[in-house]
Amino acid sequence: MDASMLRYTGGPGSSDRRGRAEVDRVLFSRPDSPVRTNMTVSVSYDEAHSSRYSRVINEGRSYYSELGRLSDGTILLVYGCDGDNPSFPRRVAICRFSLEWLTSGRDSLATGPRLDERIVDLGTAARAHDGTLTEVADLVARQGSRVVFTPNSTGAYVEYTVDVQRSASYQLLLRYFRSADGGLVTVTVNGERLSTAVLDTTADRADGYDVAQLGTVKLLPGRCTIRFTASGPGRGGGTLVSLDTLSFVDAPWPADVRDEVVVDNDELGYLTVRGAAWPAGTGVPGYRGGNYRSVAAGTGERAVGWRLVVPRDGEYEVQVSHTAHQNRASNAPFTITHAGGTSVVRVDQRVAGTPEPRGGSWVSLGKYRLAEGLTTIELSNDANGVVVADAVRLLR
C-alpha cells in the first residue's frame, strides 16, 4: 500500500507502567503529494481524525510504506523509492527515528505532547436561525451523529454556546462533512473571525469528512458563542452545512499546517470559462497532479479558470504552475480580480518555474489583497504560443 498506519501508544484500556492512561498516538505514513513523492510521517493524538505534527522523510519518488515500532519506542519505516517508474520503485529503504525527532522536540515518550483537547459535539444543542436542522446518525462521526443545516437564505446561521473552563489560547479544529450539495460557511467565535474564517463544504470527488484548522483564539472563563453562517453557494452550487465536532486544543505549539489554497486542473474549482474545454496532456514533465491542460494560441476565444476559497480578507501571493517548453507562449495572460480592481499578468511559459517536492513548477503573479469567499483566476489563449493551464495557489 502507498500508506501505512500504526498504533504507537494508547488505545482502549491502555496504561503506562504507573497505571496512568497512555497518550493516544497514531502514526501515518504516505506520499504527501498528488503523486508518489514526498514521503511523510505524521502523528495524530485524536485517533487519526487529524494529523498534528509531520516530518518529511524523502522529498523524491517514494511510496509503498510500512510502519513499525521497536520495544524501546524506535519508529521504523520501510518504503520504496527512487526511479522514474511511478509503479515500481528502484530500491527499498528502511529508516529509523524517534518520536522526538518526528515531532521536532514537541513530543517524546518521556515528556508527552503537553496537549489537552476538549471535543464539542456539534451534532446536538444547536440553535438555528432562518433554516432547518436535521440530526443524522453516522457511525463515522466522532460522537455518532452530525447535524445538517439547510439555510433558507444567505446569512442564515446555526449557533452553539460553549462553557470555557479556564483562560487559554485555544487552537480550534473543526471536523465537518463534505457533500456534493455543500455550501460556503463562515465561522466566528464571539463575533471574531479566525485565520480560517470561510470554508467550502462541497465534496471534490466523493462525500466524506474533512478537518480544518480554524486558527487560535484567546478565551476567558465563561460562555462563548460559536456561529456557523451559510455565506453562499459552494463551488458545486449547493448551500448545505454539515457539522460534526469542534475541538478546543490547548498546546504550547501549533499544528503543522500549510497556509495555502490550491486548485489543480483536475480538481473541484477548475472550470471552462469560454469556448471548448482544453485537452489534458502529460508529455512535458513539471506539472502538479496527474496532468495539465493546454490549447493553441488564439485571440482569447478560449479561457479557463480556477475558483479558489479565500479563507479570510488579507494579502495573498498568487502563484501558478506550468510545464515549460520552447513551443509555449511567452505571454500567457492570467487575470486576477482583487480589492484594487483587475490585473492581467503575462507569464513566459517557455521558462520553468520553481519545482517543489509535492509537484508543480511555480511562478509568482504577485501579491494582492483578496476578499474572503470565492475568487477566480482566469487564463485565456490570447497569446503567441501554446498556453498551459496546470494549478493555481494562494499563499498567505
Per-residue pLDDT tens digits for 208-257: 999 999 999 999 999 999 999 999 999 999 999 999 999 999 999 999 98
Task: Say which CATH class 261-395 falls into.
Answer: mainly beta
Tell me whether residue 328 is exposed, middle or buried, using C-beta atoms within 10 angstroms of its C-beta: 0 to 12, 13 to 18, 19 or more.
buried
Residue 21 CB coordination number (10 Å): 11
Please give the pLDDT value at position 16.
62
Please give the pLDDT value at position 18.
59
Q: Is the per-residue pLDDT at 379 higher than 70? A: yes
pLDDT band of residue 21 (cuts 50, 70, 90) is low
Please give the pLDDT value at position 85.
82
Position with higher pLDDT, 83 vs 243: 243
Q: What is the mean pLDDT of residues 361-375?
A: 97
Alpha carbon distance 58, 39 (integer Å): 5
Q: Which of these, 197, 230, 240, lies nearest to 215 by C-alpha position? A: 197
- Beta-bridge partners for 227: 159, 188
Q: What is the dihedral of CA 54, 58, 60, 64, to 10 degrees?
A: -90
Q: What is the mean pLDDT of residues 295-312?
A: 97
Instruction: Name the percent of the chain lying above pLDDT 90.
Output: 92
Backbone dihedral region of 114: left (phi > 0), alpha (psi from -120 to 50 degrees) or beta? Answer: left
Q: What is the mean pLDDT of residues 246-275?
A: 95
| CA angle, 52 then 54 then 55, to 5° | 165
Tell me whether residue 209 is exposed, middle or buried, using C-beta atoms within 10 angstroms of its C-beta: 0 to 12, 13 to 18, 19 or more.
middle
Please give the pLDDT value at position 20.
64
Please give the pLDDT value at position 86.
77
Q: Which ranges in the chain are annotated with CATH 2.60.120.260?
A: 117-250, 261-395
pLDDT band of residue 15 (cuts 50, 70, 90) is low
Q: What fold, for 117-250? A: Jelly Rolls (2.60.120)
- C-alpha cell read off for 204: 471534490
Q: φ, ψ for residue 23 (rounded to 5)?
A: -70, 135
Reported in sequence order, the residue ranges of 70-181 that DSSP labels E, i.e. its strands, are 75-81, 91-97, 116-121, 127-129, 131-137, 145-151, 157-164, 168-178
Residue-averaged pLDDT of the chain: 95
Position with higher pLDDT, 14 vs 94: 94
Alpha carbon distance 376, 28 (integer Å): 34
Asked whether 18 and 42 are in contact (CB, 8 A), the reply is no
The pLDDT tens digits of the residues spanning 139-194 come to 999 999 999 999 999 999 999 999 999 999 999 999 999 999 999 999 999 999 99
